[in-house]
Amino acid sequence: MDVLSDAVAAMRTGVPHSNRTVARAPWRTHFPAAGNSAGFHVVLQGSCWLLPDAGEPVHLQVGDVTFLPRSRGHAIADSPGGAHATGEIGAETVLLCGAYSLDSAREHPAVAELPDVIHLPARVGQYSPLRAAIDLLGHEVDTRDGSGAIAPLLEVLLLFMLRAWHEAHPADSGWVAALRDPAIHAALAAMHAEPGAPWTVGSLAARAGLSRSVFAQRFTATLGTGPLTYLTWWRMTCAARLLRDTDVLLRVVAEKAGYTSEYAFAKAFKREFGVAPGRFRSQGRTEAA
């Protein structure tokens, strides 16, 4: 079980999209903050600047990847003072850009701890899976013959961008540390694989290969929350996704979330989201329409 990909999948809503952009200097394109949108830019040819509405400019060269995990206004331009109009005879820059919709109301800790701007510079021998995903996505966007494959490739690209950042930023606590700790990772994988199982601190400690007390202390010190608190959060996140994206019966949603009683589940869900499961589902359908 890939815990990081599972966490990202639970947060994603809607269908991701991407496009290939060709610009000649002088040029500047602004991307306003837009709801729950997260975006990325990959420089395929030339160079440019990422200009956050709030933050320092970032110079991007061929092969560089930048990812903005939450809705933040920014611009892409040929220079820090690039004009808004697109030129016709200046240096050419080719970009692969895209966007994802992420549920900011249930932002997973793995994403919450990311900075507003992630810059992954092109370096020989680094981020090989990410480079391969970019090559495949660029090919699909160019040819349009395999348009059906673009959405799955964008999902893979998102995962690889996050993996690359986590690998480049080791830490003693948080999700970076949790993904590197075999014992904590084993417990997280168990919860993610079977959120409805009757987990206890003891049974999770057994999965981690640690004593109950050592496991509880280590999990809390690493992630800043207890194992059963995280389990409840994850169960409710999975339940919300089922309610939003499927028509399965409430009884089935409750069982998958580890509840034998629909009433107990509805009470816990309302405590977490502020609305009953049925109301949450109908609101989601109204917003989608």
Query: Is the pTM value of this prediction over 0.85?
Result: no
pLDDT of residue 1: 46
Q: Which of 33-42, 45-54, 83-92, 212-221 is least confident?
A: 83-92
Mean pLDDT of 163-171: 83
Where do the domains of the chain lie, and which CATH numbers do they carry? 3-168 (2.60.120.280), 176-288 (1.10.10.60)
pLDDT at 177 > cutoff 50? yes
* 245 vs 208, residue with greater confidence: 208
**Residue 171 token pair:** 């830490």
CA distances from 206 to 137, 174, 183, 188, 197 (A): 41, 22, 10, 12, 14
pLDDT classification of 126: cutoffs 50, 70, 90: confident
pLDDT classification of 136: cutoffs 50, 70, 90: confident
pLDDT at 288 > cutoff 60? no
pLDDT at 32 > cutoff 70? yes
Average confidence score pLDDT of the chain: 87
> Would you list the DSSP string of 173-205?
SSHHHHHH-HHHHHHHHHHHH-TTS---HHHHH
